[in-house]
Structure 1
Amino acid sequence: MFKSILVVCAGNICRSPIGEAMLAAGLPGKVVSSAGIVAKNDMPADPSSVQLCSSAGIPIDSHKARRLTPEICAENDLILVMEPQHVKDVAERFPQASGKTMLIGKWIGVDEIPDPHRQQMEAFEHAYQLLEKACEGWVAKLA
């Protein structure tokens, strides 16, 4: 079915690295990666995301951001995005990927994982908790 999964957010430094790490941990037989719609290549993950993931035993300290490209879209069977605007952005920029793009919060009834970028730790914790539930839903469907 889905052998490769791409997790996408805006900058690929806050939400998508967390989702990538969670899905990779829960789906060891799948290739899981991440990218950002407006990412600056090689940026490290946000320190707050790194801290939360390290505390949970899923380190992302070596993560480097990468911008979403047509090639990255083509390499993946499923693209999971954080919010409805990302679905639109992917469809507009990479129409070939629109049929395999879904909201990461689909199985928990959540349309948006709020972007915690440049916010307090509480915003990161909220996004982390939503991603944890969302990824558990995807693991249950894809394992």
Structure 2
Amino acid sequence: MFNNILIVCIGNICRSPSAEYLLKQKLGNKPQIVVHSAGLGALVDKPVDPTAATLLSEHGIDCSAHAARQLTRDMLVNADLILAMESRHIKGINDLAPQVGGKTFLLGKWSKGQEVPDPYKKSREAFDHVYNLLDQFTDDWVKYL
């Protein structure tokens, strides 16, 4: 059972918090399942990027409580499942905590290992594309959770 799901990207202001809030919504905010996110190079305490927040809001998701967090070894060790946006993030995770390799996967694992590109400082279209990927990939994971 996956009771502690950690989603990882770099800054923890675009992709990972968007995936976190999407997955929480899809799981029905079950209190026994903790879904949280962090960044390998987090912009600590920053809110969700305004464009990502707008997209979430347009889909009825409130992410106003988010504050970016730096990924720690303890977060990784305590997670039951770790989902990363890119292969290089998995490398960074494994460098920080090699013992978590067996529970670390790409968010796009069920879609041929597709990665989620970083939309930071890019156009609304880039954020739309990323949102659609996150929506699809979180749907894919819900089937297994």
Q: Do the two structures share a fold, i.e. TM-score over 0.5?
A: yes
Q: How does 1:73-84 map to 2 (within 5 A)?
A: 73-84=76-87
- Hey, what does 1:47 align to over in structure 2? 50
TM-score where L is the length of structure 2: 0.94
- The two structures have a TM-score, normalised by structure 1, of 0.95
Please name the residue that 2:19 is paired with: 19
User: Which runs of 5 or more residues in structure 1 are unaligned?
Assistant: none
* Counterpart AA for 1:14: C
Pair 1:100-2:103 in alignment = yes
> Unmatched 5+ residue regions in structure 2?
none
Contact persistence 2:108–2:137 (CA under 8 A): yes
CA shift digits 1:49-96 (9 cap, x unpaired):
100000101111221000000111122100000011111111112212
Q: Which has the higher helix share?
A: 1
Quote the offset at 1:118 in angstroms.
Answer: 0.6
Separation in structure 1 between the aligned mates of residue 105 and residue 113 of structure 2, nearest angstrom: 12
CA distance in 2, matches of 1:18, 1:118: 16
Amino acid at match of 1:12: N
Q: Does 1:137 align with 2:140?
A: yes
Quote the sequence identity (%).
46
